[in-house]
Structure 1
Amino acid sequence: MSKNIAYGLGILLVALMLYLGLITNSQQENVAGLSAGKKAPDFTLKTLDGKEVSLKDYRGKVVLLNFWATWCPPCREEMPLFVRMYEKYKDKGFEILAVSTDSSLEPVKKFVKEYRINFPVLYDDKNVVSLYGIQGLPTSFLIDRDGVILKVRLGEYKEIEKDLKEVL
């Protein structure tokens, strides 16, 4: 009897893992209707020092648009990689716009200093989060030189360098 229960629980666990995997994959490919091949919606946000930045200002560049927060462990994990990628590829037309979803600016400023972030960090009033249909953090959009979404990534973007080598 206990073998049957263990076998049944094993099947249930595998089914649950497959189901959750399908949900995660669909979110990576299609966050709020924004998927590869669609135009990235334009927006204007302010940097931490108050300068206005619009996505359209970056046409002609490959842009990583990253939604993150200081309290998010995977966000904290991927940020050093983004700093390295920006240093390595900025001269080839690569830009990063990091959109903070934190509720206040102070932890963001501290984070930027601590992690030596060398690209624009923008502060969102939640309008752009809604516009892009962000459902989890981190979420990244790799956008081509014409403003078209190439990749949508929910979770840590570990394969960023491979993707950059394909488009730069």
Structure 2
Amino acid sequence: MKKILFAIVAIVAISALAMWRMPTDAKTAPDVTFTTITGEQVTMQELRGKVVLVKFWATSCVTCVAQMPDNIKNYNTLKDRGYDTIAVAMQYDPPNYVKNFAESRELPFKVVVDATGELARAFGDVKLTPTAFLIDKQGNIIKRYLGNYDKESFLATVNKALG
């Protein structure tokens, strides 16, 4: 009887873990408006038809800063195929730091300061950086990344989404 009970508990636990780790391909990205540091407004609706990386970051985040060269390279390499990047600086990041960082690193993609924290809340109350969401052409979140991630796997996922 104990073996059967153990087997049932194990199956339930494994099933729950499998469901928890499943990609969130059915979750639609929140319908938000991004206001860039240059004053441009872009909505998630306007980004439909593109594969978009929405990356929450901070100038004080060592991993975020270390990932920026790859973000720049990926954007420059893939933008003509329909790839875009929105870099969302966290609420606590001073806007002048973000603007200085974007200018000094010549970030080629849209940079946003989440001054009210509204964007972080809309994407599931993001607290940790870097947190990134890869969104497909239909506006669905196909992958969530926290911290460092495998570059080859990331590019494979992006290329598959681009078609």
Equivalent runs, 1:22-33 vs 2, <5 Å: none
Any idea what the Cα deviations from partners look like across 1:107-130, whole Å, max 9, x if unmatched?
001111222210000111201111
> What is the distance in 2 between the residues matched to 1:36 and 1:119?
24
Task: Mark the runs of 5 or more structure 1 residues left unpaired by the alignment.
Answer: 1-25
The match for 1:105 is 95
1:63 and 2:52 equivalent? yes
The match for 2:117 is 126
Task: Mark the runs of 5 or more structure 2 residues left unpaired by the alignment.
Answer: 1-19
Aligned-residue offset at 1:164: 1.4
State the AA in 2 paired with 1:163: T
The match for 1:22 is none
In the superposition, the TM-score normalised over structure 1's length comes to 0.76
Contact 2:133 2:143 (8 Å CA) reproduced = yes
Contact 1:47 1:122 (8 Å CA) reproduced = yes
> What is the distance in 1 between the residues matched to 2:127 and 2:156?
25
1:41 and 2:33 equivalent? no
> What is the distance in 2 between the residues matched to 1:143 and 1:87?
18
In the superposition, the TM-score normalised over structure 2's length comes to 0.78
The match for 1:54 is 43
Contact 1:78 1:157 (8 Å CA) reproduced = no
State the AA in 1 paired with 2:39: G
Q: How many residues align?
A: 138
Aligned-residue offset at 1:156: 2.3
Tell me the secondary structure at the aligned position of residue 77 of structure 1.
helix
Contact 1:140 1:157 (8 Å CA) reproduced = no
The match for 2:74 is 85
The match for 1:145 is 137
Aligned-residue offset at 1:42: 1.1
Aligned-residue offset at 1:103: 3.3
Any idea what the Cα deviations from partners look like across 1:39-63, whole Å, max 9, x if unmatched?
0111112110112121111000000
Q: Which moved more, 1:48-57 or 1:81-90?
A: 48-57
> What is the distance in 1 between the residues matched to 2:44 and 2:58?
20
Contact 1:78 1:158 (8 Å CA) reproduced = no
> What is the distance in 1 between the residues matched to 2:93 and 2:64?
16
> What is the distance in 2 between the residues matched to 1:157 and 1:64?
13
Contact 2:59 2:93 (8 Å CA) reproduced = no
